[in-house]
Structure 1
Amino acid sequence: MRLLSTMGLGLLLALLLRVPAHAQDSLLAELSSQLLDSASRAPVLATFKGTRIINGHSVETPGGGTLVFLISHRFGTLNSGAYNFFGLDQASIRLGLEYGLSDHLTAGVGRSSLDKTYDGFLKYRALRQSTGPRAMPVSVTLFGSSALTSLRYFDGLDHTLPRRLTYTVQALVARKISAGLSVQVVPTLVHRNLVDTRRQHNDVYALGVAGRQKLSKRTALMLEYYYRLPTSEDPGTRNALAAGFDIETGGHVFQLHVTNSQGMIEKHFLTQTSGNFFDGDIYFGFNVARNFTLKPRL
């Protein structure tokens, strides 16, 4: 009898010891699986090389602690004739600064010679494309800007500060399809507090489409088109179309392009483009971006 009790007690102890060991093994296996998933999931880098595609923004942000100095330049139209040296005698320029407050959040300011316009914006990188288990298929960056025209008006209308403002909101959605090909779509709303005539729209809705095709390690072909909904078209204006060529040289991104839009911010190229690209109303221009690391990453 005593022998049976001893055997029963031993069996019970063996079962009690086995259950925690089995639970511990399961927990370790689950943790190992999660660590393996995290290690094999990787963000997709360099969907675009710069924060701009041509006229519009890309999903890219500079990263925390990085300052970008951007010079954007447009000459006159090619069909302006030899007297204007085919547009080279005329010019429009924008100088801009943008700073990565974090890897996800960027703030920027700029000044354009066109309409003597000041602008400021915020970009927030909400989602980033990744590969591996539970991969994210696209990158999403949210964009919001305001622009202030500082022209002097003598038309007798009310041009107080609030009426000079224009606002833009965008959702930039991009996917790097392959090592060489990236695409982006950009649903857009532009709101103008003041328009010149009753036939113009205060709210302009548009959809941007852009693509990048790498040609070599440091060069790429860029295309960009913004389609305004028919209910948003103003008389005498056209959709913005642009084609360009990217050259990456160390800390610089140099972009050469042609476009039918003279303006370089959303207020201008989405609502004030009047040139017909295929009739020669083409502005030759360039963007030069230089990155400065002000706060090294740990």
Structure 2
Amino acid sequence: MQAQDLLNQLETQTTDSLRREYVTATFKGTRVINGHSIETPGKGSMLFLISHRFGTLNSGAYEFFGLDQATIRLGLEYGLNDQLAVGIGRSSLEKTYDGFVKYKALRQSSGPRPMPVSVTLLATTAVSTLKFQPEPERSTTSRFTYSYQALLARKFSSNLSVQLMPTLIHRNYVDLRRDENNVYAIGAAGRQKLTKRLALTAEYYYLLPGNTADDYRNSLALGFDIETGGHVFQLHFTNSQGMIEKFFVPQTTGNFFDGDIYFGFNISRAFQLRSQE
């Protein structure tokens, strides 16, 4: 009897050692702060996302330290399967509509043929519908901006996750001849869990040398993730007013350390529209 128990334990251990284990919940939401995380909603899941930014904290008491001003984005994201997701959104800033496709190419795993990182590929497009002055009005094609990212992340422990984001922004139209149609940046982000339901997050995008880097600032954001049942509530402070890549990568003007800080939040709610088989 004891010999049989030992054989069963050995068989179980051997089976476990041959099983690939995938890492989950590298980040709790599909956004780190401004930018995307490697996460997708999952098969058949619809995510409703509200992103909000007040004005800058250094705008003074007359503007109630930014609370009198507001910029908002409403978005929907849907998981076609566990790897592929699509999304749409609308921002009040420049009355911009955006859409994206997001694909989980690699997943961090342990066991046979372990994978040390997760890799998610992201492509987005955004179109401004703002009426520009003076006339003549801009063409439809000139209003489009595209972004491409490779999101590389590793969950080092149950408490610490880190992500890198090589980024390309292509703008069909720029205001001045010296402005760059193609803007390159490298982003870095992290999440440190503090308690069971609270985590500290940070995000930074470094503009590679060029005219855009000379004229604008790197995007910096610090925040907290709060898990509340079916919601993920994110509070943050950032020098970027816009909430999509078109804005916060190549168009950040605020100096974080001079008080050009936008307080804001993201709220997401997931709805399961199809059963996961």
Q: Take 2:155 and 2:20, find their aligned partners in 1: how far apart are those partners?
A: 16
Name the amino acid aligned to 2:31: R
**How do 1:89-100 residues align onto structure 2 when only pairs under 5 Å count?**
89-100=68-79
Task: Confirm whether residue 289 of structure 1 aligns to residue 268 of structure 2.
Answer: yes
| Partner residue of 1:124 out of 90, 103, 114 | 103
Q: Take 1:38 and 1:65, find their aligned partners in 2: how far apart are those partners?
A: 31
The 8 Å contact of residues 59 and 174 in structure 1, kept in 2 or not, is answered as yes
Q: Which residue number in structure 2 is paired with residue 256 of structure 1?
A: 235
Q: Which residue number in structure 2 is paired with residue 272 of structure 1?
A: 251
Q: Which residue number in structure 2 is paired with residue 224 of structure 1?
A: 203
Instruction: State the 1:111 CA deviation.
Output: 0.2
Q: Which residue number in structure 2 is paired with residue 246 of structure 1?
A: 225
Instruction: State the 1:156 CA deviation.
Output: 3.2
Q: Take 2:125 and 2:199, find their aligned partners in 1: how far apart are those partners?
A: 30
Instruction: State the 1:38 CA deviation.
Output: 7.7
Q: Take 2:98 and 2:221, find their aligned partners in 1: how far apart are those partners?
A: 22
How high is the sequence identity, in percent, across the aligned residues?
A: 66
Instruction: State the 1:39 CA deviation.
Output: 5.0
**More displaced, 147-156 or 185-194?**
147-156
Q: Which residue number in structure 1 is paired with residue 58 of structure 2?
A: 79
Q: Take 2:215 and 2:54, find their aligned partners in 1: how far apart are those partners?
A: 21
Deviations 1:114-153 (A, max 9, x none): 0100000000000000011211100000000000000012
| Partner residue of 1:161 out of 122, 140, 143 | 140
Name the amino acid aligned to 1:283: Y
The 8 Å contact of residues 84 and 102 in structure 2, kept in 1 or not, is answered as yes
**What CA RMSD, in Å, does the superposition of the two structures yield over aligned residues?**
1.6
Q: Take 1:234 and 1:196, find their aligned partners in 2: how far apart are those partners?
A: 15
Name the amino acid aligned to 2:218: N
The 8 Å contact of residues 224 and 235 in structure 2, kept in 1 or not, is answered as yes
Deviations 1:147-175 (A, max 9, x none): 00000123235611110000000000000
Q: Take 2:45 and 2:256, find their aligned partners in 1: how far apart are those partners?
A: 36
Deviations 1:12-55 (A, max 9, x none): xxxxxxxxxxxxxxxxxxxx99x937853100010000000000
The 8 Å contact of residues 200 and 235 in structure 1, kept in 2 or not, is answered as no
Name the amino acid aligned to 1:285: G
Name the amino acid aligned to 1:278: F
**More displaced, 196-205 or 134-143?**
196-205
Q: Take 1:89 and 1:243, find their aligned partners in 2: how far apart are those partners?
A: 22
Q: Take 2:40 and 2:217, find their aligned partners in 1: how far apart are those partners?
A: 29
1:278 is paired with a residue whose SS is helix
Q: Which residue number in structure 2 is paired with residue 182 of structure 1?
A: 161
Name the amino acid aligned to 1:155: P
**More displaced, 226-235 or 287-296?**
226-235
Deviations 1:164-208 (A, max 9, x none): 000000000000011100000000000000011122111100000
For structure 1, the residue ranges without an aligned partner over 5 or more in a row are 1-31
The 8 Å contact of residues 131 and 137 in structure 2, kept in 1 or not, is answered as no
Q: Take 1:63 and 1:142, find their aligned partners in 2: how far apart are those partners?
A: 15
Give the TM-score, by structure 1 length.
0.86
Deviations 1:41-99 (A, max 9, x none): 10001000000000000000110100000000000000000000000000000000000
Paired residues in the alignment total 266
| Partner residue of 2:94 out of 91, 98, 115 | 115
Q: Take 2:235 and 2:85, find their aligned partners in 1: how far apart are those partners?
A: 25
* Structure in which a larger fraction of residues adopt helix: 1
Q: Take 2:184 and 2:238, find their aligned partners in 1: how far apart are those partners?
A: 20
Task: Confirm whether residue 152 of structure 1 aligns to residue 139 of structure 2.
Answer: no
The 8 Å contact of residues 181 and 213 in structure 1, kept in 2 or not, is answered as yes
The 8 Å contact of residues 207 and 213 in structure 2, kept in 1 or not, is answered as no
Q: Take 1:162 and 1:231, find their aligned partners in 2: how far apart are those partners?
A: 25
Q: Take 2:54 and 2:256, find their aligned partners in 1: how far apart are those partners?
A: 15
Name the amino acid aligned to 2:259: G
Task: Confirm whether residue 213 of structure 1 aligns to residue 192 of structure 2.
Answer: yes
2:157 is paired with a residue whose SS is coil
Q: Take 2:16 and 2:120, find their aligned partners in 1: how far apart are those partners?
A: 25
Shift of the 272–157 alpha-carbon distance from structure 1 to 2, 3 Å rule, reads farther
